[in-house]
Amino acid sequence: ARPVRVLVDMDGVLADFEAGLLRGFRRRFPGEPHVPLEQRRGFLAREQYRALRPDLADKVASVYEAPGFFLDLEPIPGALEAMREMNDMQDTEVFICTSPLLKYDHCVGEKYRWVEQHLGPHFVERIILTRDKTVVLGDLLIDDKDTIQGQEETPSWEHILFTCCHNQHLVLPPTRRRLLSWSDNWRDIIDSKREAVQWER
């Protein structure tokens, strides 16, 4: 049987983008209103800040576009251990599948450095950098973005929604699966996919 290929998103799944953004915003703009993590709604923080007050959109974007932002993000609890364990599982291929900012100046290099620093050189070779994840071949995509669209209408992967402050309130249709955290049953999800893959042959 062929291996199960797991694509793992970076921001919100491996690296704590939301906590880093809130911390950076409050540090840089202490007098401005902010959105507490438990009140975050919608994938794009920028849009929620824009709704709070139009000029806050650019201010919040300036935080994640600044040098050092991506490099300094804390790992999501349990993420690094899960990645190492997944990588050691039989018949399992793991790739990090991440979309860079359009303002890629600092983001791209820092994502690579973050992976090297936290997971080592082996995982640096497993980074797939793309603005369109639908064209990447895989069996599972673990990602905190609720809707992932692109050129491919029916991607090869099953999207597992990784719970993050901005998506925890969403009610998923019964066909869709969610991973509440890295202490949740990610191994079972991979095993269920492995069984499906074996039936393909």
What are the residue numbers of the active site?
A: 9, 11
User: Whose CA is closest to 152, among 172, 173, 137?
Assistant: 137
Residues listed for the chain: 201
**Cα–Cα dist 10/3, whole Å:** 22
Q: Is 75 exposed, middle or buried (0-12, 13-18, 19+ CB in 10 A)?
A: middle
Distance from the Cα of residue 122 to its chain's centroid: 19
Say if residues 140 and 7 touch (Cβ distance below 8 Å). Answer: yes
